[in-house]
Amino acid sequence: AQSVTQLDSHVSVSEGTPVLLRCNYSSSYSPSLFWYVQHPNKGLQLLLKYTSAATLVKGINGFEAEFKKSETSFHLTKPSAHMSDAAEYFCVVSGGGADGLTFGKGTHLIIQP
Amino acid sequence: EAQVTQNPRYLITVTGKKLTVTCSQNMNHEYMSWYRQDPGLGLRQIYYSMNVEVTDKGDVPEGYKVSRKEKRNFPLILESPSPNQTSLYFCASSWGANTGELFFGEGSRLTVL
């Protein structure tokens, strides 16, 4: 079985300050991990993915995430928030087995001007 | 342009009136899936299809049907909609079930009165 927990349902930061969105996972297998972004009235778009290569993964729009096996975490970061980053973010785990993909419940990122 | 197209994008209907939400992808993907998104619950999988004529239940299949007669199309059928099926629905496609690299449609917002 696998699961994913996004530790914050809402995160609010000021424009130009760092962003941290937290994700913990559990999996019986060596997992693949993903972050997706959903802008208002849009479908989800893949931001970045970890698939057992480098533990620090760079994605689109300046986002990156670090896979930490000892902490079972895959937190998403960005050095400097932009107004266009305001969206819903989903952490996703895939154990590779019959469980398929499991989505977190999402973190709503608010950017204050 | 690679895309997943859903129709209709918005629909208001009444209890018991059969409806179909269409989904089409132009990437020759084998895997297609339907999700519903509800506040506080994240995305939950309704049905998925590994290939033509191969479909299986996800986490919340009750009240829904699907078919996969062609590779590009994966319609979602609500035979007798009920108010608890009011939700935002997403179709997604991918090369495989566990690749995690899903391409999403823009969503269909359904209201059942």
The C-alpha atoms of residue B81 and residue B84 are separated, in whole angstroms, by 8
Bridge partners (DSSP) of residue A51 are: none
pLDDT of A96 higher than 70: no
| High-pLDDT (> 70) share of chain A, % | 96
Is B100 within 8 Å of A49 when comparing Cβ atoms? yes
Contact A105 B41 (CB under 8 A): yes
In contact, A30 and A96? CB cutoff 8 Å: yes
Backbone φ and ψ of A61, nearest 5°:
60, 30
A88 pLDDT above the threshold of 90: yes
Instruction: Please report, to the nearest 10 degrees, the dihedral formed by the alpha carbons of residues A92, A74, A1, A107 taken in order.
Output: -50
For residue B101, the chain A residue with the least C-alpha distance is A46
Distance in angstroms (rounded) separating the CA atoms of residues B67 and B95? 18
Indicate whether A53 pLDDT > 80: no
Q: Burial code of B65-103, b = ≥16 C-beta within 10 A, e = fewer?
A: ebebeebbbbbbebeebeeebbbbbbbbbbeebbbbbbb
Measure the CA–CA gap between A59 and A78, rounded to whole angstroms: 10
In chain A, DSSP assigns E strands to: 2-6, 10-14, 19-21, 23-27, 32-38, 44-50, 56-58, 64-68, 73-78, 87-94, 101-103, 107-112
- Residue-level pLDDT at A51: 85
State the smallest CA–CA distance between residue A44 and chain B in angstroms: 6
Which of A48-57, A89-98, B99-108 has the lowest average pLDDT? A89-98
Mutant choice from B21, B29, B36, B43 vs A, greatest count of A C-beta within 10 A: B43
- Residues of A in Cβ contact (< 8 Å) with B102: 36, 44, 46, 101
Among candidates B64, B56, B70, B59, which has minimal Cα distance to B82?
Answer: B64
CB atoms closer than 10 angstroms to residue B32: 27
Position A79 scores a pLDDT of 97
pLDDT, position B42: 87
pLDDT of residue A97: 62
- Please determine, for residue A52, whether its predicted confidence score (pLDDT) is greater than 80: no
Mean pLDDT for chain A?
Answer: 92
> Does the pLDDT value for residue A98 go beyond 70?
no
Whether the CA torsion B60, B63, B68, B71 is positive or negative: it is negative
> Which positions of chain B have pLDDT values less than 70?
none
Residue the block writes with tokens 């506040």:
B39
Check residue B26 and give its pLDDT.
Answer: 96
